[in-house]
Structure 1
């Protein structure tokens, strides 16, 4: 008891200190939990112990429960294309590619190779969705694509766990094994459905009448563990039962109260899971196979990025495809669950499992840094792709003088061009989106494909001789680079149309030659103008 209390105090203390420190740098708590697990494992020698295996499985059970609790059939049907089309293509293609990868590098063939390959195709729901929710990017187009694929991956975990149970059986009669499994699935789902339909509401109603919050939470835990026990009794993993329990509870009329009460508890249980993941790292194996680990990390990340980008770029903008691919190129927590189960069932040796676990953890640790800089990274990649696509870029007319240079040919940029064309003033537009450039050229407008943030481009556009530069770009990363490039042309008059998120970038460099046109003021003037016109016409 004394040793347990000491370990608990040190673990919780380290978790608090590390995560408070990481919070200042906007690093997710998941990384802090993993590092705590690594430290505890190194200090107390827990790596590879039987007790640790049970702790990890306990964390997996509650991880699956939290996913089930957030699972919504209504939300799922509203995102059919993102979930079922994008998700199925990503899982199947990435799974097959990763299977070939582990077959060639690790020598994993047959049943184990298939399971490991498809496990590597899964991404981190816990890490990605937390960051996207915190940043608000979950509402953007790439955030919706990412969410849809992650939902399908969560669903794909269920048959993957079933495959582990089927392949780990000593029964050589596959037909009989599949038939027995199907019968067990039907019985288990029927039992849990009946419990969910006729008992859960009554149980919650009875408990709520007692006006005891701790009894309410205890009831939830009882249902989760009961469903996990039933699943295990019928030959499936605890995790499958926990997931179904989460879905059943999510469909009750008490869902919102359950979510409100369990959010801190849920996050702590996720923390427990990731601490247990960190404890599983065996540094001896890591140091002996560091080159193989780095190779797998690089190859898996590049392959997943390439497959996801290739799927989405067919009917989405390149920027959306790039951001989505970067968002889910990592290996997720469900892969760790699968590797742990394979090791428990003696289907995967300890060294190989350790290599795969470390590769997964490295990709998860890198993910927050990628997502926090997703715009800057996607801009750079998009520039490279589009530059390669343009075989004969247009030559900018560098003889222009007293002209207007417009940065960006989006909606605002197009409106500006129309007004300038009607005035007869010479102008040129610099745009790095090839589709927008083609749109402008089709309209007979002076739109050029170029990276406006490069000083060489500004020289070609004869920026020193222009009358004024109009900036209609909202992308903060591009604005920052453009601002830096324009600093050497301090005498250029600049008009920048900004929103709340981008105006701060140029505020630090405000001079007499810089004018800020705020979105809110433009809208206010337009509203007042429209209202006065209505009043005048009414009184006329």
Structure 2
């Protein structure tokens, strides 16, 4: 009968979720929030109608694994290598969170070891929630989207040494620097071995499976690759989610990646909703009602602190102010891996009394805020541009706009973005002898292409002064070949205001955005 009880739980969860998410959709609120609210209502601290929460959490973990797998499929190993420059930003963000938490503990009179541990918890962000929101918004290939994904990967890797150090902070063990470095080295070696083995085995396996012309066999094989590599990663001390991401990267290198994505999506969305519901079940409203000032203060301090430290880390390492602010807002919540760390911390005395439940309540509330913060992030980033002048004291990784040709351009084409589409367009313009200038927010790309003689500059095209420097008033065409839909709309608006007669061509991935872009001012 236990199986029937679990089936009843699933029916109740999905049935209630349909009602709640439908209501949220009518109110134009994010579906993720609806799932979290449904979990809070049905969980042990709400109506308590779910008999087996632990089994729901198992299915929820599968949802996270499938989500990270599909993110990996959309990526490639080449794109992952390009994220190595993000490592410094991610490490600085984690270090800043830990230092800030430790200083706060000292000022508040709390033990330093608890302050450091709270820094561990605060440093982690929600890979599942953030990546779902970023991909749903079509921003995963935008400058800030790549930065967000890079930071999340660094955080997932950082969980390994944190798990080693946590018992030491609780006074239940001893560990030296060599032990921590050894745990990191083992994790890196495990990732390398999995990548090398799977890089050669998986493509051959998929070729043989495709030859069978059996769709069922193909689907089962893809699920095996996803769950199998995730499981092997967990044996090496890494997270299941990171292993699934690696599996997706491997499949992305094959010619069957698009079909794999199409087959996995229905499974991913079904299981992933259970993850958000299971997180909502952790919300204990009694804690919020008993300690409203404490919980609210912690939520504000945590979200605000993560915004500042992450945006600061990105700005210090040379990212544009807009990308830094958008990234800071996106990762300003507590992550699912923090829940695992919190359980370990509780067992070694780092979260005494009600601290554990207070942490869970605060964490779920930060996750509830995340969709709303992401919706408001473009407006918040624009307001934060008033602080742009602070960058004069920060080291710049990117070149300035001195790459603009000294001769004054007229009837030229401005190309925004130097990815695959931007490069192809530039090749056509050069062969046609049409004058052009390129603008991009990737400092490394700008520096490399300037050495090759490409008229390319660093700049944020949503800024009027950048477009003026590019000669927008005298340009014949403005082509937006970027992957950031929000920045595209903002740039179209600004360009049309500065030059009413210019011909604007905007790239979009979705048909539903075409009319909006035309209304904003794009010609095609």
Alignment TM-score, normalising by the size of structure 2: 0.63
* Alignment correspondent of 1:121: 123
Counterparts in 2 of 1:385 and 1:233: CA distance versus 1, 3 Å: closer
Within-5 A mapping of 1:188-227: 188-189=190-191, 192-193=194-195, 195-227=197-229
Shift of 1:78: 3.7
Q: Is the 8 A contact 1:96 1:118 kept in 2?
A: no
**Distance in structure 2 (CA, Å) of the matches to 1:157 and 1:352:** 24
* Alignment correspondent of 1:43: 47
Within-5 A mapping of 1:182-261: 185=187, 188-189=190-191, 192-193=194-195, 195-233=197-235, 238-239=240-241, 241-261=243-263
Within-5 A mapping of 1:434-449: none
* Alignment correspondent of 2:403: none
Can you list the C-alpha shifts for 1:303-334, whole angstroms capped at 9, x where unaligned? 22223443455656655544443343333444
Can you list the C-alpha shifts for 1:380-410, whole angstroms capped at 9, x where unaligned? 4546988xx9xxxxxxxxxxxxxxxxxxxxx
* Alignment correspondent of 2:430: none
**Distance in structure 1 (CA, Å) of the matches to 2:144 and 2:255:** 29
* Alignment correspondent of 2:296: 294
Can you list the C-alpha shifts for 1:79-105, whole angstroms capped at 9, x where unaligned? 554x23443433332343244446666
Q: Is the 8 A contact 1:86 1:149 kept in 2?
A: no
Bigger shift: residues 127-136 or 213-222: 127-136
User: How big is the alpha-carbon RMSD for the aligned residues of Structure 1 and Structure 2?
Assistant: 4.7
Shift of 1:186: 7.1
Shift of 1:344: 7.6
- Corresponding residue SS for 2:354: helix
* Alignment correspondent of 2:144: 145
- Corresponding residue SS for 1:281: coil
* Alignment correspondent of 2:367: 364
Counterparts in 2 of 1:224 and 1:165: CA distance versus 1, 3 Å: farther
Within-5 A mapping of 1:106-505: 107=110, 109-110=112-113, 113-136=115-138, 143-165=142-164, 167-168=166-167, 172=174, 174=176, 177-178=179-180, 181=183, 185=187, 188-189=190-191, 192-193=194-195, 195-233=197-235, 238-239=240-241, 241-312=243-314, 318-319=321-322, 321-336=324-339, 338-339=341-342, 342=345, 348=351, 351-382=354-385, 501=516
Counterparts in 2 of 1:345 and 1:383: CA distance versus 1, 3 Å: same
Gaps of 5+ in 2: 393-413, 415-461, 470-488, 505-514
**Distance in structure 2 (CA, Å) of the matches to 1:341 and 1:48:** 22
Can you list the C-alpha shifts for 1:164-189, whole angstroms capped at 9, x where unaligned? 14644976464785587468547744
Can you list the C-alpha shifts for 1:194-249, whole angstroms capped at 9, x where unaligned? 64144323333343344333333333333344344444545555555444444444
**Distance in structure 2 (CA, Å) of the matches to 1:375 and 1:235:** 37
* Alignment correspondent of 2:434: none
Say how many residue pairs are matched: 417
Shift of 1:134: 4.4
Higher relative contact order (CA 8 A, sep 6+): 2
* Alignment correspondent of 1:2: 4
Counterparts in 2 of 1:288 and 1:92: CA distance versus 1, 3 Å: same
Q: Is the 8 A contact 1:68 1:246 kept in 2?
A: yes
Verify: 1:72 aligned to 2:76, yes or no.
yes
Counterparts in 2 of 1:296 and 1:186: CA distance versus 1, 3 Å: closer
Gaps of 5+ in 1: 390-410, 412-431, 440-473, 480-494, 506-517, 524-540
